[in-house]
Amino acid sequence: MANQQTARAGRERAGRFVPHGSGVDAFSAFHPSPLPPDPPLTIDADLQDLLDRANQALGRLDGITLLLPDPDHFLYSYIRKEAVLSSQIEGTQSSLSDLLLFEHNVAPGVPFADVVDTSNYIAAMRHGLDELDGGRPLSLNLIKEVHGLLLRGVRGGETGPGEFRRIQNWLGGASPATARFVPPPAFQVMPAMSDLEKFLHDVPVRTPILIKAALAHAQFETIHPFLDGNGRVGRLLVTLLLCAERKVLSQPLLYLSLYLKRNRDAYYEQLQRVRTEGAWEEWLAFFLHGVIDVAATATDTTQRIVRMIERDRARIESELGRAAGSALRVHHLIVRDVALSIPGATAKLALSEPTVAKAVGHLEHLKMVREVTGRKRARLYVYDEYLSILSEGTERPFLD
C-alpha cells in the first residue's frame, strides 16, 4: 500500500487528470498543482553539475555584450532572429530575409500574414523588455499585454488577444475527447496563473532563477491560459524572467527557440512526462542542456559578428582611400539595420543620394553588401555575411 501511495504521489506531483463529460465526449483535463513541486526537486550531483555549467555559460554570454560596438542595434537584430524562430515553431514560413523585406516595404516571398506574425512578436518582446527596464515587475497584466501585441491584427486575433481564455482548449485532435493533452478548464485558469505569478516572485519559497525559469515555462505551457499564442508567450517568458533578474542577464541574448525547434519531439515528450509522471528533474535537465547549448551558440555568434565588423571596417579604411569616409558611415548604418535602401540611408545619414549610392557600390565591390530584389528601382541591400550568420537555423535565405 505504501509503495502504491508513493507511486501515485510521483504521478500526481505536477497535478492530476480529472474526468470531464460523459459518453463519447468524455475527456480528462489536467489540473496543475501550484509550484514548487511537492515532493521537492531532487538536485543530485549530475543535475547540480548541469546547473553550474548553465550559470557559467550565462555568465560568459553576459560578459560578451561588453564587446559589442552598438549593443542596442545588435540586440534588435538578434531579437529579429528569435522572432523568426519562435514563429516558425508555430508553423509560419517566414525567414529572417522575409522579415527584412517586409520592414523595408518589399513584398516577402511567403504569405503576408506569416511575416506580420513575426513582426508582432518583435513588438511584443520589445514591450515586455522595455517595461522591465522601466522597473515594472513581471506580472500577469504584463504577460497579457505581451499576448495582446502578439496577436494584434493577425490569425488568432479573434480569440481574445490579451485575455485569458474563457472556454476549454486542447492540444491535438479534433475535440477534447481525442486530444493529445487537455489543459485545465477555463474556471481554473485564473487561480492557476495567480499561483504561477506568486512563484515568479518567490512565494512561497525563493527559487534559483534557472530552476524558476524551467519550472515556470513548463507550468505556463501546461495551463495554456490563452486560446492562441501560448507557445510563443511561454518561450518569451523565459527571456523576460532572465532579464527581470539583472544578476543573470543584463541584455536579452538568450532565446531557447532554436534548441526547441531542433529538439521539438523531445520537448513535447518531456513536458508530457512532467504531467503524467511528475518528472520535473528530467525536464529541468532537458531545459538546462538547452541553456548551455544556446548560451554557447550565442556567445560564439556574437564573437564572430564582432570580428567580422572589425575586419570589414579595417578593409574599408585600407582599400578605399578617400572614399572610406562615406563608406564607413554607410557600413555603420548597415551594421545597425542589416539591410538598407539608398533613399532610406540618404535620409538617415544626411548625405546626398549619389554619395550614398557610390558608397554602397564600393561595399558591393568589396563583397560586403548584396542587392537582393533584382530590381532597377526600390532596391534593397543586405550586409551579406552578417545576415548569413544571423540566419543560421532559420532556413530560407535570400536566393542568389
Provide the 10 A C-beta neighbour count for residue 63: 11
CA 323/CA 179 separation, integer angstroms? 64
Nearest partner of 150 among 183, 127, 130, 170, judged by Cα: 127
Q: Which CATH code, of 1.10.10.10, 3.40.109.10, 3.40.50.720, 1.10.3290.10, is assigned to 33-300?
A: 1.10.3290.10
Q: What is the pTM of this model?
A: 0.89
Where does the pLDDT of residue 289 fall: very low under 50, low under 70, confident under 90, or very high at 90 and above? very high
Least confident of 11-15, 274-278, 282-286, 363-367: 11-15
The tens digit of pLDDT for each residue in 121-148 reads 989 999 999 999 899 999 999 999 999 9
Would you tell me which CATH number, out of the four given (1.10.8.100, 3.40.30.10, 1.10.10.10, 3.90.550.10), belongs to the domain 320-391? 1.10.10.10
Cα–Cα dist 253/239, whole Å: 8
- What is the spatial distance between Cα 271 and Cα 158, in angstroms, rounded to a whole number? 28
Closest CA to 282 of 200, 203, 202, 218: 218
Distance CA 79, CA 81 (A): 5
Domain ranges of the chain: 33-300, 320-391
Task: Determine the distance from the C-alpha atom of residue 67 to the mean position of all C-alpha atoms in its chain, rounded to a whole number.
Answer: 23
**350-374 tens-digit pLDDT:** 999 999 999 999 999 999 999 988 8
Q: Where are the alpha helices (DSSP H) in 134-208?
A: 140-150, 189-200
When pLDDT is averaged across residues 345-349 and rounded to a whole number, the result is: 95
At CA 298, angle to CA 364 and CA 307, rounded to 5? 40
User: pLDDT digit string (tens) for 146-195?
Assistant: 999 999 876 655 568 999 999 999 999 999 999 999 999 999 999 999 99
